[in-house]
Amino acid sequence: MRRWVKVSVSAAVVLGVGGWIATPYAQDWWLLRTACDGALPVDAVRELGRDGDHFKDAESATHEELGDYGCSLGFDGDDVRDDRLLETEAYTRRDDVDREFMTVLSESGFDRVGPMADGLPGYIDKYGALQFLLPCPELGKDDEGRQRKLLVRTWLGRDTLRATPAAYETAVALTNSASDRLGCGAEPLKAPGGDAVPVDPQEDPKTVPLADAGDTACGWTLKAGGLKAAQWRVAVLMNDAGPAGRCDLYARDADSGEWEPRLWFAAWYGDWSNRLLAEERRHDPDSRTATARCDGEAANFALSADKDVPGVDEAGKRKLFAAFAEAQVEQRDCTELRLGD
């Protein structure tokens, strides 16, 4: 009789635990702690999925010998139209890294981009994905003597809550995890903290008066001189560590009175960017370009401008572009700056 009681109690415990595991809330608990190989910051991901009811469809795959890693997590709910919460792809092979840049920076390279928080080695591409590029000291150099690097792209779904510090916290955690899983050995990144949130590059960028741009990554616009501060605003679309970025200058339209972009100064770091410069010169043989060497690879700079810019003639454009390129070279400790004619 006692044995039957023990068996009955044990069976009830097993059924109870099994029933708990089968509940949606228990599945959420399990998924958040095991998805993406346990790398997800649980509270941050809950914040990203706040508009959904439950999490689902966790997947991950590592191919260290091929230099790639990926993971994803979904969610669902009555207010969720796109059930993809987040997706991360990571690559260490040069061809794969170059392909990613070619996908998001097409033709001349003046696609929409957004800056990451200062200090983070990345940018936000035109699709809204957070792209990080880190050197891999444990992987050595490639056949051409260049330091191997890790590119990590984290994409957040349409219904994922992205205007929150949790987005940076999650993307940084996934980047650090990808470095570990692919043997990169990059120094771990830290999320910016505070109230820093990723921008949406599909929205019109915020601008600041030229007079207030001095302490930004586009501070050269104020220091270069030649522009009347009251007549210009600056969109700061770069930080001090990303592989791509821009400084866009806005002036008022004479007819509408609206602030409109007139001058676009772009910087791209890495041998992959040689293609962009070639495309820019092919489309516009008279475009202003410059090259340099940064960390053993090419750095390329270009200016795209309206034909008629109020208060800025061709000599003024040349002076501003030289100031831009020189500021980038100084900031990144580059060498061999060559300004085009």
Interval 250-292: pLDDT, tens: 999 877 889 999 999 999 999 999 998 888 777 777 779 999 9
Residue type, 39: A
Interval 229-241: pLDDT, tens: 899 999 999 999 9
DSSP tag of 18? H
Residue boundaries of the structural domains of the chain: 18-181, 208-339
**Strand, helix or coil at 185?**
coil
Better-scored residue on pLDDT, 210 or 78: 210
Confirm if 88 and 72 have CB atoms less than 8 A apart. yes
Distance of alpha carbon 161 from alpha carbon 199, whole angstroms: 12
**Average pLDDT for the chain:** 89
Residue type, 96: D
Percentage of the chain exceeding pLDDT 70 = 92
* Neighbouring residues of 7: CB distance < 8 A, sequence distance ≥ 6: none
**What residues are paired with 292 via a beta bridge?**
299
Burial 20-31 (b: 16+ CB within 10 A, else e): eeeeeeeebeeb
Better-scored residue on pLDDT, 79 or 110: 110
Q: What is the pLDDT of residue 45?
A: 96
Q: What is the pLDDT of residue 82?
A: 83
Distance of alpha carbon 266 from alpha carbon 18, whole angstroms: 57
- Alpha-carbon dihedral sign for residues 67, 275, 289, 254: negative
Query: 3 pLDDT exceeds 70?
Result: no
246: nearest Cα among 192, 297, 305: 305
DSSP tag of 207? -
Token pair belonging to 115: 């800056």
Interval 10-63: pLDDT, tens: 433 333 444 444 577 788 899 999 999 999 999 999 999 988 889 999 999 999
